[in-house]
Structure 1
């Protein structure tokens, strides 16, 4: 539990204030203690006991001196330890590391000054300007703000992500830039990659889906998804895992699958309950999209047709969420004539703009980001955006509509960046839920569909 003081904003002081007075007091204390122990040792009279039986005498002065030396050593040890605890207080480790970064990167300006000492002109450099940094802690994060004051550090403020990660030894979770500052949010504890079996919150009436240990979302609050990832990125396993999650919801989600390349998702047409809900050719795809739009319109007519529906959503009427999973969207747009492409795109636009309240969602999957295939007015409505695998900044900017964000090179299969509406102000690195290589998706989906039928 953090104290109120820890959670407040603190300024990084550079150059660090020297603890000369404290060091002087420590030296004085050690000197006085040593002198005191010496005086006590000299002041103790001889402690001799005669033992008549053996006609010998035993002196205890050595034993007393040993006790005094032990007392002296313990006191010195504790005083030195107290000194270092004050100088390197654990609460100030962030400030210490940030000050070290300022020093090593020379994020300060110096000017030459002249002064006269002992009738001689002395030239010396003095720090006249320092980059201004603030920080604060929460239970899960360390937040660092680089203030943008219009000086040369204004541009530097947006480029310090990797340096801050290295200086603090923490994983960068998200960034945010305003006119006044650049903000970096770090995870105190590394985000945990979770197992597929723990991705659904097993609570009645909950539609929360967990993505990682720290990232989760509620479907009714984060409608529509855009997932981009090339071959080997883990996109296929990710969407299959999401399908399993959707079928575990209560009430169970009503899924419609579109797979124009006739890849793995198209095989769901052989699973009981998916008859007439899997489309592979252009006419079937337009039919499924049209039927989904019609279902959405019926829900509005039946459930949202008077004042009593004000402020309500599909959840208030216990309606199952309807999710269209449109795989290989770019491939479809390039493989059909313009008339069919326009018809499909119109249906997609209608679902994206009107589907949330009625509980009708769409997930669009693409191998490569393309603004030509997926217009901005559709992309902007996607509450869930993810880019998997290695991608250049142009691709990330198309997915997330962001600029000036530092992206790490993705090397882990299933790794990438994600941004959820209401959760993130900028993309954050994540790793998709772990799925055992022997996991049988078809068998699991078949089992869940049979449970619904019963």
Structure 2
């Protein structure tokens, strides 16, 4: 026999009172007067039938008030219904999984952990969190539990303990939120970007906006990598601050042609003059370092952004192919270039010298470890091999079992998604770039 929860018991009791009261009301309102007329031997007492109707109405009002309070009805009926449906499914799944706390003196009833739903936006309700109260009995079960089956129309993305350790938090997003947005003009792209980003941040998709930081981008042919790079460049160039871009594309593909048109040939390079541009960027970084010395003396723990300076971006597309071409150089020259890039990766963030590296595959030969570890924003578009995922993110990375199409992938960034549990990313399709 399935056990009941205390809430179910209270519900059964309340609805029983309502049904019985309505039965008595119907009896005393319709049938009892007929008995009074026909039975003349004794004088039957008069019964006010509306008392039972009032009792049923009072219990119904109490149930509605409790339901409204429990499901935060003051935020709107639509919100309350969504809150109720998610909570109900989670409670039912937990109960069916025998995830329950039996009372010591009444083993017919069980008590489920308290559940709360928090939406990031109470109006659109596309992302949010399920909070399940922690306890000694449930701690291990909550740690291992996946709640996707209980979230109809939503997907649980990651889970963790709250800072006070009293709640397990399960982040979720709507399946509809992962539909790829089409942007048909540069103006629309900028308007879309500015909704969530400032002059020192970039919007990646409908859910993710990140500040400027070193980035490692991986994507096979057809993954949408070039479109994504061009979208980021368009955002950088649209900022009110005049950020500077240095772009290298050894294969002279779409990114190279776009860079020549937007930033000019003096800061665009192919395979032949890539090293010169890297050295030029490094010199610019050292000049920036000298510029900021006085500012840092009087402003500790500040960055170029606090000083109101523009960011300097070094974007290297097809880094694996470029580094392969350097094998013909003397080892001393190769080591010098790697040293420069490592210097940018280690020192550039505070100075505003940002390194973006894009490649089709990532391994120890493609990307030096010293550089890779400094790429804070990590993105993999499309499907990649297991070694690439492990090299870019972490050895224990948990890649969602999703069939990625062009423009879809995963990313990690501190505070948004860890390297062991990256988040799904759906980059807008910028059709105007065709």
The question of a shared fold, defined as TM-score above 0.5 by the shorter chain, is answered with yes
> Could you give the per-residue CA deviations for residues 44-100 of structure 1, whole angstroms, max 9, x where no partner exists?
99xxxxxxxxxxxxxxxxxxxxxxx9xx99998997798689689645433321232
Equivalenced residue count is 382
Aligned residue among 23, 29, 42 for 1:37 = 29
1:44–1:106 CA distance, 2 compared to 1 (3 A): closer
Q: Is the 8 A contact 1:147 1:157 kept in 2?
A: no
Aligned residue among 378, 393, 414 for 1:421 = 414
Q: Is the 8 A contact 2:377 2:411 kept in 1?
A: yes
CA-CA distance at 1:280 after TM superposition: 1.8
- Structure 2 Cα separation of the partners of residues 398 and 178 of structure 1: 27
> Could you give the per-residue CA deviations for residues 171-192 of structure 1, whole angstroms, max 9, x where no partner exists?
3364144697864201368537
> Could you give the per-residue CA deviations for residues 368-417 of structure 1, whole angstroms, max 9, x where no partner exists?
23244324443332232211112355543432237363513133321111
Structure 2: give runs of 5+ residues left out of the alignment.
38-48, 72-80, 122-127, 184-188
- Structure 2 Cα separation of the partners of residues 317 and 156 of structure 1: 46
CA-CA distance at 1:324 after TM superposition: 0.8
Q: Is the 8 A contact 2:203 2:209 kept in 1?
A: yes
Matched, 1:22 2:11: no
1:20–1:189 CA distance, 2 compared to 1 (3 A): same
1:343 corresponds to: 336
- Structure 1 Cα separation of the partners of residues 109 and 386 of structure 2: 37
Matched, 1:298 2:249: no
Matched, 1:245 2:239: no
1:398 corresponds to: 391
- Structure 2 Cα separation of the partners of residues 224 and 30 of structure 1: 69
Q: Is the 8 A contact 1:393 1:407 kept in 2?
A: no
1:260 corresponds to: 250
Aligned residue among 217, 224, 242 for 1:227 = 217
SS at match of 1:260: coil
2:208 corresponds to: 215
- Structure 2 Cα separation of the partners of residues 129 and 360 of structure 1: 58
Q: Is the 8 A contact 1:212 1:430 kept in 2?
A: yes
1:171 corresponds to: 154
Q: Is the 8 A contact 2:397 2:422 kept in 1?
A: no
TM-score by length of 1: 0.69
1:76–1:389 CA distance, 2 compared to 1 (3 A): same
Q: Is the 8 A contact 1:175 1:405 kept in 2?
A: no
1:433 corresponds to: 428
Q: Is the 8 A contact 1:15 1:99 kept in 2?
A: no
Aligned residue among 299, 306, 322 for 1:332 = 322
> Could you give the per-residue CA deviations for residues 248-303 of structure 1, whole angstroms, max 9, x where no partner exists?
11222211111123322222464374223222225x22221122111111111123
Matched, 1:95 2:51: no
SS at match of 1:271: helix
SS at match of 2:24: helix
Q: Is the 8 A contact 2:409 2:424 kept in 1?
A: yes
- Structure 2 Cα separation of the partners of residues 155 and 396 of structure 1: 28
Q: Is the 8 A contact 1:277 1:288 kept in 2?
A: yes
Mapping for residues 50-449 of structure 1, pairs under 5 Å: 90=81, 91-105=83-97, 107=99, 134-140=115-121, 141-145=128-132, 154=140, 157-158=143-144, 160=146, 164-172=147-155, 174-177=157-160, 183-187=169-173, 190-191=176-177, 193-194=180-181, 195=183, 196-201=189-194, 206-219=199-212, 223-268=213-258, 270-271=260-261, 273-281=263-271, 284-305=273-294, 307-337=297-327, 338-391=331-384, 394-401=387-394, 403=396, 405=398, 407-425=400-418, 426-436=421-431, 438-439=432-433
1:389–1:85 CA distance, 2 compared to 1 (3 A): farther
Q: Is the 8 A contact 1:170 1:186 kept in 2?
A: no
Q: Is the 8 A contact 1:388 1:415 kept in 2?
A: yes
SS at match of 1:374: coil
CA-CA distance at 1:237 after TM superposition: 0.3
- Structure 2 Cα separation of the partners of residues 188 and 400 of structure 1: 25
1:21–1:205 CA distance, 2 compared to 1 (3 A): closer
TM-score by length of 2: 0.72
Q: Structure 1 residues 19-28 or 321-330, which shifts more? A: 19-28
- Structure 2 Cα separation of the partners of residues 34 and 296 of structure 1: 87
2:76 corresponds to: none
Structure 1: give runs of 5+ residues left out of the alignment.
1-12, 46-68, 111-125, 441-454
- Structure 1 Cα separation of the partners of residues 304 and 64 of structure 2: 61
Higher alpha-carbon Rg: 1
1:253–1:128 CA distance, 2 compared to 1 (3 A): same
